[in-house]
Amino acid sequence: MDFRQIQYFIAIAEDLHFNRAADRLQITQPALSKQIASLEKMLGVQLLFRTKRTVELTHAGQTFLRQARQLVHQREKAIEITRRTGSGDIGHLTISFTKTATQTVLPSLLRQFLQRYPKVEIDMIELATEAQVAALNQNAVDLAFLHPPIDQRGLQVHPILKESFVAVLPLDHSLGQRSAVSIEALANEPLIIHPRKEGPALYDGFLQVCQASGFQPKIIKESISLQTRLCFVAAGIGITFVSDRFQSLVGKNVICRPLKNCPVFLEFGAAWRQRSTNPALLNATKILDKLLATAKL
């Protein structure tokens, strides 16, 4: 069925006059009659009852008019939705993140993005870095806030900041008497750290720093969960480390001290697939660029 035939039929059904409908459609009356006859032949029913002076809709014609109007509306809606999706005005965006993102750029990004694109549906998933990389490669996530270095194959990585570490100690620990803790002071201390599989570069970098200081670190527990690590510290089981940005979040059951002359930093950045065709992602990265150009993180 030619969609023009549907539009022609609606025009005639509204005017109930072939000549007026033909003038409105800017075609000749014989051409219009031919198109309607072809439509009726294709449908196998008579849509219009015609005399020399009048045009009336048959019962089938009345039914087809209702359906035809719905088709035209659906077509216009489909065109509008497709265009708005192509521009990123509507659509879907999945963002994954680590806790650093919630303390830095993510709240402002979400606020500005939703102000400009309120019709875009956003999903948020908190994931460790390696899980985010896997989600990006599986097209499960559009935009990730994670901790490089990572396997960048097929990904665009945008560095955002570097964070220093602080040691988190039990309240009664002797190292708490110092203004800062040296790496050497950790030689005989039980340590609770993030698993290697979730950040191999950071894990290996810490081991190398300890080994360069003349000792093999005594790692007694590993946990992805910051709260779990802090709980172990509060119980007096060992020492852990957090970004200096999170000192205010560790609670009153532990104390934080800067790490003296520690060359290991926690990198933080954004990543997305290089070949992503999601317009909402493009709009989000444009806002991110502007935020980073003006924000003090």
The residue-averaged pLDDT of 272-280 equals 94
User: Which residues are bridge partners to 122 per DSSP?
Assistant: 93
Quote the pLDDT of residue 162.
92
Q: Per the structure block, which two tokens stand in for 248?
A: 């205010």
Q: Tell me the mean pLDDT in the region 137-145.
A: 97
pLDDT tens-digit readout, 34-76:
998 898 888 899 999 887 778 889 998 899 999 989 988 888 8
State which of 54-68, 189-203, 208-222 shows the largest mean pLDDT. 208-222
Q: What is the pLDDT of residue 230?
A: 95
Percent of all residues in the chain with a pLDDT value above 70, rounded to a whole number: 99
Q: Are 96 and 129 in contact (CB under 8 A)?
A: no
Average pLDDT over residues 267-295: 93
Does the structure show a pLDDT above 80 at 161? yes
In the predicted structure, residue 226 carries a pLDDT above the cut 70: yes
On the question of pLDDT at 80 being above 80, the answer is no
In angstroms, the CA 199 to CA 146 distance is 10
For residues 204-227, average pLDDT:
94
* Average pLDDT of the residues of the chain: 91
Contact 253, 130 (CB under 8 A): no
Indicate the angle between helix axes 29-43 and 18-25, nearest 10 degrees: 100
User: Is residue 261's pLDDT more than 80?
Assistant: yes
Q: 242 and 250 in contact (C-beta within 8 Å)?
A: yes
Count of CA atoms in the C-beta half-sphere (13 A) of 193: 23
Domains of the chain: 3-87 (1.10.10.10), 90-161+267-294 (3.40.190.10), 165-264 (3.40.190.10)
pLDDT of residue 18: 86
Indicate the pLDDT class of residue 83, thresholds 50, 70 and 90.
Answer: confident
What global pTM score does this model have? 0.72
pLDDT of residue 297: 66
* Cβ contacts of 87 within 8 Å, gap of 6 or more: 279
Q: Judge whether residue 84 has pLDDT over 90.
A: no
Burial status of residue 241 (CB atoms within 10 A of its CB: 0-12, 13-18, 19 or more):
buried
Q: Rounded distance, CA 99 to CA 86, Å?
A: 31
